[in-house]
Structure 1
């Protein structure tokens, strides 16, 4: 006798029945004969009613988890996705499968009021099975109320590392998702990300209020991507080295590829120089018109370009499986970002290449970007203006243009101030970015002090991430061991597919984790830096991620001799 759906078993049936249904749908509708590591386990957990965090490498098929599991649950699927382009891409994919997968729709600020109503009506009357929306939409009571009436079966948080202040791409608008989940009656939660070290995973589970959560970590390794670093001593030779490397790869027929630059100007100059060499090259950054960005993305996806030269604005949701190389003209802001960006290569399973063109002085640019906590007086001024908004008759809140008029300051730092004040529960930002006083908000002076302290903490962590990027660039050991160790995953033997392995400088650390008193993922306490967690172990060094100061690499001999670390129970 087959079991009926229940709160704890929404799909009904035994585990073996669920397995059969998962495999049948994946094969018959999506054409998946085999699952990638972690996929089926995550589907099983979701279909069985377990809140699930799935940490799978870029290109490992995270979206298939909710596409399959959503079919076997009794109710609509809500997918929170940070980018409109990413939402559109997923809706188009599901539309191709509409007869079997159900109708998909998106809800975002790019749609007309009529189209937004149609999407909400569809989720209300059951004609829409999958609804994709940005987190900002969930500031609207009418949207949340409509979703609650629809009784969703699954609430998906894509790019879930954005929930965590430890994450490299933290977004304050993700903080409200835990409360929304409860307002919706706590449907089964599926959080998806490609980059989440242990502290990030823990915070995702906590912030989303996940219950009896299943954490599926498939491993961070992408062994088909060769890792290399090209070292240069001066700016001119480094700039030439970027061009030479791209030309060499395309000359050997290894393309298309992506070049990442730290600045908009750099992206434009490199693209112009590559185009001058006869390549089909374009630049891409957030300063371009939306139509130009969309045209470049279309040309890239349709094989009309050899290379795109971009800032980090180009990437999230860009899924071109046959991308053969990713070249970084400068170091990324963190190993987290670097891993995510190189993960856009080789998603078809064929060999690919990731090259960092490195000049030590370029780290100064990243240190500059990571530095600069706002003054407490500036934060107090902004907090005071938002607090006074209701009395001033500003029912629509205080937006950045208004703050610019009042303060005479630039838009970017003001937006940063609002984000910090939101994180300390002093203000609430609506979908349009306007700020309103939070319920029970602290006084402006108290809010400013808390926001300043938070900014200083973020600055320390960000600076430590830059130093870990330096460590990756300058290590003579196996680069893949370094990269995976950053995320708390040990690779016992050198990978054999990086430049250091080819040069013979990489060494084995097979017994390091067994011999150390501080194995990977051990919670520890430092007498000065406080609590942390061990992320990487080598023969003579350990790397610890501390809550207050970020990543630190310590000599194991000094740790033991000076009694610097103690395990936390």
Structure 2
């Protein structure tokens, strides 16, 4: 039976607008809230439970860090990201928040020190893992301190319907009983309506303020390309993003090692990351990336949950992710600072059988069916000619109203849409004439006029559709089949023999009553472009920006923290645009609060003044 921890707390008083905005400016360095932040902060300060779905980079940490500075007692944050906790604590401390973490990575004497600080009431913000929360000894410690706010981060982990279910999270259902006098707030970046309902039910939140922010990440550019010569494609993309931080995701450890070695041989500062590396190598590679000592990390999906690097400028999926939820979360690691970033996926039909192989090994029939459904939705996203952003948002139950998002390959025209109704009729006819018993590759072989043994054995070289599409390459026909699958004109049978079969819409296509359009890459896609880069990067003084980056790295190394904890790229770009030379002007830079100004401001101001003297021709705000 769960014990209830009753708190002898002073009555919570209302907080004025002045108190809230002063804390926002002095601690975090912002003059205004991002969308949804203010409503969440005020609800927590009023003592209400909160459930918030906010996209990665939406500023959810501020929603509980700011109240932790105003509410009496300690704000306890339960998070699965042990590898991230130190950086979270360092980031909070850099803003002047009394923060600590309590997890298995700490030495016994370090854990004892945190406990003493908690009992002394000198910790505003405490990060713990769910495994720690479940321990009786920790529950006893909680009974001796004033927990003014309990937070569940990555709340989707409590749902068995979510893409990252963790059994340890189920113990968090006791939070509202343990802290009946304190608000409980749950946050996640990815939750379908079904997962949201499950989270609310399991946490038993008390008439919560529920916020479902837009899943749209306007600063991210979505780009899906047909995978051809992958090594060459990766090299070109990394050249286009020279000097920028990025992640390349691969599905297997072998492909991670091979890709990292290939990129290193081409002169890129790239490192591998996967569960097969020993702990020291994995930690060393991750820290090199976080500290800007490596530009690119090539990784399996084991990488990402443990980092909070805000200046990742690109994420590349060289293989298919597991699901749209996984894709959204993994691409969400780019552009957390709100600056433009690019998300590129390379897609090939040859990736599908690999994914099916792992799905077929799932013993539970329900889980296998869900994994297969997730794969089909992902293939539809990769294959469709519809705006990528609209397709993503539709998946999470959000309607995208604009006709052109201006932030994906479909909408900016690096894909052209062509009418391929006649070619679709050729394919559909081939499927019908072979009695819907054969897979995609065999149908492609028929229309391109192959004379391989299987075609001859079945006599399919005598079909009227044999060879009708030989003037187009197999790549075209494979893409067209993907489009027909995405548009639900054909479907693929389950099991070992995934034969294509016609759906109702196929009849209308065959009769010429409806048309089929397909998006395909234009030639300019192979050229370097600026899609996904914004005016902020182009308008700032690049030379000054690089000097500021070097100073940031120097200070970060001195203090043993990642560079983005000192200042974000966004802050540096603003400095390189506005040329602040006084403390007052520096405080107007986004992300520069009073504590950071005191700690770092003098050295940055000295650099900017010197640069301004040496480059009088540079433009700056007086």
TM-score relative to the length of structure 1: 0.69
2:312 is paired with a residue whose SS is: coil
Distance 1:186 1:470, change over 3 A: farther
**What is the distance in 2 between the residues matched to 1:64 and 1:120?**
24
Distance 1:476 1:90, change over 3 A: same
- Tell me if the contact between 1:151 and 1:184 (Cα under 8 Å) persists in the aligned partners: no
Distance 1:305 1:114, change over 3 A: closer
Q: CA deviation at 1:238?
A: 4.3
**What is the distance in 2 between the residues matched to 1:8 and 1:466?**
50
Alignment deviations for residues 44-99 of structure 1 (CA, whole Å, 9 cap, x no partner): 1111111111211111211111110112212211111112221111111222244x
Distance 1:338 1:35, change over 3 A: same
Paired residue for 1:153, among 142, 148, 151? 148
Q: How does 1:162-201 map to 2 (within 5 A)?
A: 162-185=157-180, 187-201=182-196
Shifted more, 456-465 versus 207-216: the winner is 456-465
1:483 equivalent in alignment to 2:392:
yes
Corresponding residue of 1:43: 41
Alignment deviations for residues 357-382 of structure 1 (CA, whole Å, 9 cap, x no partner): 111221233333344344xxxxxxxx
1:350 is paired with a residue whose SS is: coil
Q: CA deviation at 1:299?
A: 1.6
1:223 equivalent in alignment to 2:218:
yes
**What is the distance in 2 between the residues matched to 1:280 and 1:59?**
25
**What is the distance in 1 between the residues matched to 2:122 and 2:238?**
50
1:271 is paired with a residue whose SS is: helix
- Tell me if the contact between 2:150 and 2:175 (Cα under 8 Å) persists in the aligned partners: no
- Tell me if the contact between 1:238 and 1:357 (Cα under 8 Å) persists in the aligned partners: no
- Give the number of equivalent residue pairs: 419
Distance 1:198 1:238, change over 3 A: farther
Q: CA deviation at 1:505?
A: 3.5
Runs of 4+ in structure 1 deviating by more than 6 angstroms, as ranges, are: 6-10, 555-558
1:272 equivalent in alignment to 2:261:
yes
Paired residue for 1:60, among 33, 58, 70? 58
**What is the distance in 2 between the residues matched to 1:10 and 1:188?**
13
Unaligned runs of 5+ in 2: 1-6, 420-486, 489-502, 507-622
Q: CA deviation at 1:180?
A: 4.2
- Quick check: which has more Rg, 1 or 2? 2
Q: How does 1:425-504 map to 2 (within 5 A)?
A: 455-492=364-401, 493-501=403-411, 502=413, 503-504=415-416
**What is the distance in 1 between the residues matched to 2:107 and 2:165?**
29
Corresponding residue of 2:331: 342
Corresponding residue of 1:76: 74
Paired residue for 2:29, among 28, 31, 45? 31
Unaligned runs of 5+ in 1: 1-5, 375-454, 508-539, 542-554, 559-569
Q: CA deviation at 1:27?
A: 0.6
Corresponding residue of 1:281: 270
Q: CA deviation at 1:162?
A: 0.6
Distance 1:359 1:158, change over 3 A: same
- Tell me if the contact between 2:175 and 2:184 (Cα under 8 Å) persists in the aligned partners: no
- Tell me if the contact between 1:105 and 1:131 (Cα under 8 Å) persists in the aligned partners: yes
Q: CA RMSD in A?
A: 2.8
TM-score relative to the length of structure 2: 0.63
Q: CA deviation at 1:179?
A: 1.7
Distance 1:275 1:25, change over 3 A: same
